[in-house]
Amino acid sequence: MSNNIKEIQADVLSAFGMLGKENPEWMKTFKDFVGASEKEGALTLKTKELISVALSVCAKCTFCISLHVKNAIGTGATRKEIMEAGYVAGLMGGGPAVCLLKICY
C-alpha cells in the first residue's frame, strides 16, 4: 500500500464506488450515517475532522487518515492542528500510531 495521500484517496473512492454498485442500499445508509455524524452541532465540523484524524491514526487506518486529513484541510485546519491531533493519537495509540503520523504530515 502506498503512503501517497492522493493514491490512497483514489483507492478509497474506488472501493466506495465498488461497494455502492454491489450494495447501493447499504452504501446509502452508510453515507447517511456519515452525514449525520459529521453534521455541525455542539462541535464544529473542523473539530470533528480533527477528532477523526486522531481516531484514524489510533485505528491504524491509512484510508481513514487520508480522507480525514483532506477533510480537515477543507474545514480550514492547519498542518499544525492536524499534527497536534495526530500527537494526541500517538499518546493514546502508542508507537504504532506514532509511526502513522507520516501520513498526516
What domains are defined for the chain?
5-104 (1.20.1290.10)
Q: Tell me the per-residue pLDDT of 28-74, one tens digit each, with 9 for 90 and over.
A: 999 999 999 999 999 999 999 999 999 999 898 988 998 999 999 99
CB 81 within 8 A of CB 60: no
Whether the per-residue pLDDT at 75 is higher than 60: the answer is yes
Q: What is the average pLDDT value for the chain, to the nearest integer?
A: 89
pLDDT at 26: 93
76 secondary structure, DSSP code: T
pTM of the model: 0.79
Phi, psi of 101 (to 5 degrees): -65, -20
Give backbone dihedrals phi and psi of 74, rounded to 5 degrees, phi first. Answer: -65, -25
Q: Give the whole-angstrom CA distance, residue 70 versus residue 104.
A: 9
